[in-house]
Every structure is written in structure tokens, then in C-alpha cells.
Amino acid sequence: MSLAAKPASRLFHRLVCLLMIFSAITGAALAQQAVSIRFDQAARIFHIDAADTSYVFGINEHADLQALYWGKRLASGDTFPAAKASPEAASFDLSFTVTPHEFAGWGSGLYVEPDLKITFPDGNRDLELKYVSHAIDGDKLSIVMKDISREVYVTLYYQPDAETGILRRWAVIENRTSEPFTIEQVSAATWNLPRGTDYRLRYLSGRWAAEDTVNEQMVEPGKTTLESRRGTTGHQNNPWFAIDKLSTAGAETGGVWFGALGWSGSWQITIERDQLQQVRISGGPNSFDFGYRLQKGEKFETPIFYGGYSSEGIGGASRLLHRLEMDTLVPNAPHEKLRPVLYNSWEATGFNVDEPGQVALAEKAASIGVERFVMDDGWFGQRKDDHAGLGDWYVNPQKFPHGLKPLIDKVHSLHMDFGLWVEPEMVNPDSDLYRKHPDWVLNFTGRPRTEGRNQLVLNLARPDVRAYVLGFLDKLLTENDIAFLKWDYNRNWSEPGWPAVAPEDQKNVYVDFTNNYYSILADLRAKHPGVEIESCSGGGGRVDLGVIRYVDEFWTSDNTDAFDRLTIQNGFTYAYAPGVMMAWVTDSPTWVNNRTLSLEYRFLSSMQGSLGIGANLNKWTPEDFATATKMVAQYKSIRELVQRGSLYRLITPEHDSEQSVTESVSRDKSQAVVFAFLHSSGELYPYPRLYLRGLDANASYTLTALDGKVAETTPAAASGAYWMEHGVDVLLRGDFQAAALKLDRAP
Ligand code: DGJ
């Protein structure tokens, strides 16, 4: 098993890293070497320095890999004494379990989460991994470990990102024994924090239509598990964490250790504080119901666990992740196109799509400056509602008698590109595909097949299903001029059986399904390089750093209420960049809460991410069209800084705050935009003064109110220092009010 081939852009990034390293060595461009990996032979210690972060670990006297330091960058001459295993704390807490390991096999009395647990065919389950050798290859360190007696090899990889200091860690397990064995638990990496008692964990939780709530809790003795057992990433938790120290933490100050797991299958991240107050975080595929059978001679590659450190608070941590995503991870990084303003038909027409109806919407969308027209669900098979049709990917002849071409041509003539909704991994029992291949779904023989939204999950791990899905998508893209796919996924797994393979191989489905999903995306992108893809799973159910390597954006939530969205988008941006966060303007009152919001408010809420329109344009008044045209034009003038810039959360909507304010600053600090929202004013209190961030203190900036008003005393131009230290008063009063300000550096 291995992950799909890496896109060329990542190879390009590596070349750039190497060039940077070379230029640093020659002393030409950089004062501080961007990436440095060195091995202190005498003390047997590895030093990894990148951007503003250092990561240090050593080989201890038992040949275990022991964590020593993770935090702000140290001086290049700093040395560490040789790693020494922690002493036995008590006869109940042996040395091995209290030593902070980089990657520990389950054996020797280990009571914390193991990084690798294997059952061998003879029933033996003991595993002791010891250092064997290492290699430093440019910006990548690899370390080989081996069990003390069995031919089980584990190669650990460490690859820092030059720009952000974020470290990629993953492992490859190799079976060089003469028989298959079963991996029962495996992590990509374990991260160890300095000993401490005032750690605060932030993580994201949610559900359908309520994704990405930011939760905070102290890291107490015991274990917190963030996870999905659902087959895919899921809405319930997102594979991201951030930990700071309560005593030193501010939104933009203090140290933050953070990480995100790049895996779109069932996953887990465990945060443990042990009996000696040591904190460690490990992450990988979910160990519940896990059992990957690795044949002799085969290798198993874990997902990547990304980990970083920011000394600029949680805001800095988010910005480092955003930078990594936009500059390195998205498919065309670092030259990913800016997200076009799109229109999506779902909330307007639901399943009732046909050629005249879509043409009418397309004409209206084009008139306000939309650049991409996306037809959502309902265009294929016998799809009238969610009871039938999934799996039958032919164009419905009643709705589109002449195929998709006339609609696509019309969209092109309106100067938009065309996008289409698909849900490739699903099938309705009422479909030709299911009638022909009932064995293609996840199932346990003779057991009920539990439906969700009247659909079943195709077993993408099967080679024939993989071929079918890739085949129909390839045909669709070859026969039609399609620029964009919205790839949806609308239920989680039940009965995850794979009866076609031997019982002992069936649990491989958790990994093979996900890897086939990635490899289909990779194959499609290779064959159709111009096509962009959105990852959607009933909103934000498949948002993670695994799939981001193959998709250009995420559908954030089916909840398009612009006020609710402030909270959902706030949580989303803790881990993911606004440049991949799709946000539609929809109708008011919203179907979600029956809440009435002005069109301006709805636009400003969506303009904090990648703007889309999902309203029923047939119901809009001429005034609505005029407002929308103005707002779309405004968005185009600031989208680069929103999508690529540095995000500052000036006031979060968390803890029932009445206000929510974000600021995006362009990378060269020449422009900034502020979005300010008020839930409800009370008792004559004015809106709090806003203190901007991230500007050049010595430069002069003009301030323009794009929407709303600022206090009369506000200067037309002032220094960055003035806007950051004196601040600006926005005049917002009433319920559900919003404003936007733009700052431009004077030439
Ligand atoms: C769920 C998605 O999140 C919606 O935007 C829409 O595409 C529907 N599926 C269509 O069935």
C-alpha cells in the first residue's frame, strides 16, 4: 500500500526548498538558513530547524528515539546532552512508558497510545522498535527502526516546510517477515510537549449544518480523543488541534503547538496527559475496528501528520497553516488560481433542474459578475429527488433532451465557465447500477444494509468500483467542457464489510477506500489538468489536509445563514485558509433559521472567504441585482488579500460575542480589508473600537468604508501605527448590522 503519486507542484516546491538551502549555505540571500537538518554524532541528536521553529530529538541508551525539544527556533550552536531514558517512576510505571518517544511499538510495558501495534500469525503481539540508521536527503530526514528480533522495519520521515517551519511526519511499515501480519494500530507520529500543567487544548467539533465549533478545554490527566469512526473525515470532529499555555496565551501572543492530520478516512488524534504530567499527541487512522493485513514484502505508508509551532498565538498558528495550504498543499500551489465568483443552483432549483431553468439562472448570474456557473444535483439518471438515480451517471434525457452541451455553450457565451455536481461514491438502491451490481456496496453478507438519505456507499476499495468511478468521471470530463466538479458525499458508513475478499483482509477497506479516493482524484487531475474540484460532504464533512492535495476548495457548510456562518467560518479558519473556504450568498429569510438578513450583510459574511451565490435569482428585485453587482465588484477588488493574505481575528464570535470582526492583510502589507458584524446592540453601548493588525507601522494608509460608516473624527489617512494603536470606530447600531473597511497604503 502506498499513497498516490505526489503532484508535480510538490516536487517543484522541494526544488525551491533545496535552492533556498543552497542560497543560505552560500550566504547569499538569507541571514538564517531556512531549513537545517543536522545530526550531532557525539550526542546522537537530531536537530531540525525551519523558519522560526526547532525540533530536537535523540537516540537514547536503549536505541529508542526520544523527544527533547519542540518550540521556537534555537540558536544554531545550541547543543543538547545525549538523550537518556526517563527512570522507572515506580514499579507500576516502567521506564519505557514514561519516556517521551518519537514512535513506540506496543511492548515493554507501554501504557500510553502506541504508535504501532501488530499481531503476528503465531499470536505474538510484542514489538520493540530500535534505531538502526538514518539518512538526511536535502530537506528530508528518514530514520529506520527495526523490531529487536522480527523483520519488521519502520522508516520515520521528517520533512520541515521552509516557509512556515511546519514539520511533516509520517511512517512506512515494512513486512520483511515470511508471513503476513496485521497492523492493529498505527500512528503517523507522536508529538511531545514540554512538561506542563496549564495546557489548553482547542479543537473543532460539529455536525451537519453546524460545523467547526471551536472548543477549549484544559489538558487534564487522562486522554481526549478526537476522531471519526465514520469511514471519512466527518463533521463531528475535524483532524486538527492547537495547544497553548493558559499563563502566556493571547490571540496574537504566546506559544502555540498545533497539528493537523492529512487523512480523509476514519482517523483519531489523542491528546494524553500522563501520570507524570507529560503531554503527548498522536494521530493516525482510527484504531477502532482497524486491522490492516500487510502481506510479506509489502509496505504500509501512514498519512502525514503536520505539526507546527507559533510564538504569535493562535492567530499566528492559523496563518502558518493557511500559508502552508496555499503555498504548498493545494494542487496548483504556489500558483493556485484565485477562486472565481461562482453561482450554484442547489438552493434555487433543488433537484428540479432542466435546460431552460438553468439558462435563466445563468443569464441572471452573469449579469452580476459571476464567473462560474455550477449546476448541482438532479441532472442525471432518474433523479427527481433523493430516492433514485445515484450511480447512473448519464444525462437525464427528459431534463436535457440535447445533453449538457447547449447549457454549457450558453454558459460559455455568458463568459462563465461551467461546473457540475457529482456524488461518485454513492448509489441509490433504486438505480440501474445497484440492480446490476448489488455486491458493489459496503455490506456484511446476509445482514441488513442501512440506508442514509436513501443511499448506500459503494466500496471504493474494490478495483472494479474504482475503475467504474474513474471511468464515468473521465468520460464526463472528456465529453463535456467542464471546468469544475463539486464532489459530494452525503452519508457515513454502516456495515463496513467487504465480502469479496478473505475475512482477514476485509478491514483493509478503511485504508484502501481512502487511498483509492485519492488516486482517482490524482488520475482525474492528471488527465484533465484544467479541471478544478470542490470537496463537499453534506457541507464540511470532508475537510482535511489529506484531500486538500487534490482539491481546490471546500464546501464549508450546508448552513448558509449568514449569521450562523460567522461562527462556522470562524472555526474553519482556525485550521483552513479563507482561500479554500467557499461561502454562498443565499436567500433571506434563510431556510435554516427563518432569519431575515439584508443582502449587504449576507454578502459581507460570504466575502470573508471564497465568494459564491446560491440564491434564487428569479426572486430578486432590480435593487437586489444592483446591490449584488456592486458587492461582487467590491469582492473582486479585495479577493486576493482575502484568499491569500494574512487573517487576523480582531473579535471572534465565540462565547456568544455580540460582535465578529476579521481583518485580511495582503502579503506585501499594501492593502487590508476589515469585515465587522454586529449581532445586536444594547443599552446604548457603542461598537467596540477596532485595533487593526499586521500593517506596516511606518507606512501611511488611506481608509475607505466599502460598506457602513466610521466615526466622523476618523482621518482619511493615517499611519499603520495609528490604525493599530489608536484604532478606528465603526458606527454599527441595531440588529444584524455589518460594515467593511478597506485600507490602501499610500504610494
Ligand atoms: C449536499 C451539499 O452539501 C449541497 O450543497 C447540495 O449539493 C446537496 N448535497 C445536493 O444533494
pLDDT in tens, 173-195: 999 999 999 999 999 999 999 98
Find all residues with CB under 8 Å of 210, minimum gap 6, and list them: 235, 557, 559, 564, 568
Which candidate in 488, 512, 552, 707 is catalytic? Answer: 488
Q: What is the pLDDT of residue 7?
A: 40
Strand partners, 533: 485
CA angle 328, 331, 335 (to 5 degrees): 65
Stronger pLDDT, 34 or 162, i.e. the higher one: 162
Q: What is the pLDDT of residue 32?
A: 54
Q: What is the pLDDT of residue 248?
A: 87
Place of cell 476589515: 674
Q: Could you tell which of 374, 387, 488, 554 is best to mutate to test the pocket of ligand 1, judged by most ligand atoms within 8 Å of the CB?
A: 488
| Ligand 1 neighbour 564 (Cβ under 6 A) | no
| Ligand 1 neighbour 614 (Cβ under 6 A) | no
How many CB atoms sit inside 10 A of residue 222's CB? 10
Whether residue 597 is predicted with pLDDT greater than 80 in this model: the reply is: yes
Q: Could you tell which of 423, 533, 536, 582 is best to mutate to test the pocket of ligand 1, judged by most ligand atoms within 8 Å of the CB?
A: 536
213-241 mean pLDDT: 98
How far is residue 291 from each of residues 117, 171, 288, 299, measured CA to CA in Å? 10, 17, 9, 15
Alpha helices in 450-538 (DSSP H): 463-479, 509-527
Ligand 1: which residue has its CA nearest to atom 1? 538
CB 305 within 8 A of CB 270: no
CB 244 within 8 A of CB 253: no
> What CA–CA distance (Å, rounded) separates 508 from 53?
37
Whether residue 273 is predicted with pLDDT greater than 80 in this model: the reply is: yes
pLDDT in tens, 658-708: 999 999 999 999 999 999 999 999 999 999 999 999 999 999 999 999 999
CB 532 within 8 A of CB 484: yes
User: Ligand 1 centroid vs 561 CA: distance in angstroms?
Assistant: 15
Chain CA centroid to CA 81, Å: 38
DSSP string, 594-626: -----HHHHHHHHTTSEEEE-S-GGG--HHHHH
| Ligand 1 neighbour 554 (Cβ under 6 A) | no
CB 180 within 8 A of CB 121: yes
Q: How far separated are the first and last CA of the chain, in Å rounded?
A: 55
pLDDT in tens, 371-415: 999 999 999 999 999 999 999 999 999 999 999 999 999 999 999
CB 200 within 8 A of CB 216: yes
Reference 691, options 717, 725, 663; nearest CA is 725
Q: What is the DSSP letter of 668?
A: T
| Ligand 1 neighbour 379 (Cβ under 6 A) | no
> What CA–CA distance (Å, rounded) separates 228 from 238?
8
Q: Name the phi and psi angles at 341, rounded to 5.
A: -70, 125
> What CA–CA distance (Å, rounded) separates 569 from 547?
19
User: Ligand 1 centroid vs 597 CA: distance in angstroms?
Assistant: 23
- Please give the helix or strand (H or E) that residue 577 lies within, else none: none
User: Ligand 1 centroid vs 17 CA: distance in angstroms?
Assistant: 39
Q: What is the pLDDT of residue 250?
A: 85
- pLDDT-above-90 percentage for the chain: 94
Alpha helices in 616-685 (DSSP H): 622-644
| Ligand 1 neighbour 558 (Cβ under 6 A) | yes
Q: What is the DSSP letter of 420?
A: E
Q: Could you tell which of 380, 425, 555 is best to mutate to test the pocket of ligand 1, judged by most ligand atoms within 8 Å of the CB?
A: 555
326-349 mean pLDDT: 98
User: Ligand 1 centroid vs 461 CA: distance in angstroms?
Assistant: 24
Q: Name the phi and psi angles at 86, rounded to 5.
A: -65, 145
User: Ligand 1 centroid vs 441 CA: distance in angstroms?
Assistant: 21
> What CA–CA distance (Å, rounded) separates 529 from 542?
22
Ligand 1: which residue has its CA nearest to atom 9? 538
- Please give the helix or strand (H or E) that residue 310 lies within, else none: strand 304-310
Active-site residue, 327 included: no
Model confidence at 258, pLDDT cuts 50, 70, 90, reads: very high
Q: Which three cell numbers stand for residue 565?
A: 456562518
CA angle 419, 425, 426 (to 5 degrees): 100
- DSSP 3-state of 567: helix
Q: What is the pLDDT of residue 247?
A: 87
Q: Which atom of ligand 1 approaches the CA of 539 most closely?
A: 3
Q: Do strands 237-245 and 35-40 pair parallel, antiparallel, or not at all (unpaired)?
A: unpaired
Ramachandran region of residue 128, left (φ > 0), alpha (ψ -120 to 50) or beta?
beta
124-148 mean pLDDT: 98
Whether residue 17 is predicted with pLDDT greater than 90 in this model: the reply is: no
Q: Which three cell numbers stand for residue 42?
A: 557525539
- pLDDT-above-70 percentage for the chain: 96
Q: What is the pLDDT of residue 324?
A: 98
Cis peptide upstream of residue 340 (ω within 30 degrees of 0): no
Q: What is the pLDDT of residue 33?
A: 61
Q: What is the pLDDT of residue 83?
A: 98
pLDDT in tens, 725-736: 999 999 999 999
Reference 738, options 558, 599, 577; nearest CA is 599
Q: Name the phi and psi angles at 680, rounded to 5.
A: -165, 130
CB 51 within 8 A of CB 163: yes
Q: Which atom of ligand 1 approaches the CA of 538 most closely?
A: 3
> What CA–CA distance (Å, rounded) separates 395 from 402?
9
User: Ligand 1 centroid vs 404 CA: distance in angstroms?
Assistant: 20
DSSP string, 321-360: HHHHIIIIISTTTTSPPPPPPEEE-HHHHTT---HHHHHH
pLDDT in tens, 275-321: 999 999 999 999 999 999 999 999 999 999 999 999 999 999 999 99
| Ligand 1 neighbour 102 (Cβ under 6 A) | no
Strand partners, 636: none
Reference 457, options 411, 414, 492; nearest CA is 492
Q: What is the pLDDT of residue 249?
A: 86
Place of cell 431556510: 591
Q: What is the DSSP letter of 728?
A: B
CA atoms within 13 A of residue 245's CA, in its CB half-sphere? 15
Q: Which atom of ligand 1 approaches the CA of 536 most closely?
A: 3
| Ligand 1 neighbour 420 (Cβ under 6 A) | no
Ligand 1: which residue has its CA nearest to atom 3? 538
> What CA–CA distance (Å, rounded) separates 556 from 225?
23
How many CB atoms sit inside 10 A of residue 299's CB? 14
> Can you state the angle between helices 405-413 and 355-367, rounded to 10 degrees?
10
Cis peptide upstream of residue 589 (ω within 30 degrees of 0): yes
Q: Which three cell numbers stand for residue 69?
A: 525539544
CB 285 within 8 A of CB 165: no
514-538 mean pLDDT: 98
User: Ligand 1 centroid vs 137 CA: distance in angstroms?
Assistant: 45
Render the burial of 363-381: b for 16+ CB within 10 Å, e for the rest: ebbbebbbbbbbbbbbbbb
Q: Which three cell numbers stand for residue 609?
A: 472567504
| Ligand 1 neighbour 423 (Cβ under 6 A) | no
| Ligand 1 neighbour 98 (Cβ under 6 A) | no
pLDDT in tens, 437-486: 999 999 999 999 999 999 999 999 999 999 999 999 999 999 999 999 99
> What CA–CA distance (Å, rounded) separates 498 from 510?
10
Active-site residue, 558 included: yes
Q: Is the dihedral of CA 545, 614, 469, 482 positive or negative?
A: negative
Q: Which three cell numbers stand for residue 729?
A: 470606530
User: Ligand 1 centroid vs 423 CA: distance in angstroms?
Assistant: 9
CB 657 within 8 A of CB 328: no
Cis peptide upstream of residue 401 (ω within 30 degrees of 0): no
Which candidate in 115, 212, 244, 558 is catalytic? Answer: 558
User: Ligand 1 centroid vs 347 CA: distance in angstroms?
Assistant: 9
| Ligand 1 neighbour 587 (Cβ under 6 A) | no
Q: Which amino acid is at 440?
A: W
pLDDT in tens, 734-745: 999 999 999 999
Chain CA centroid to CA 425, Å: 20
Q: Which atom of ligand 1 approaches the CA of 555 most closely?
A: 3
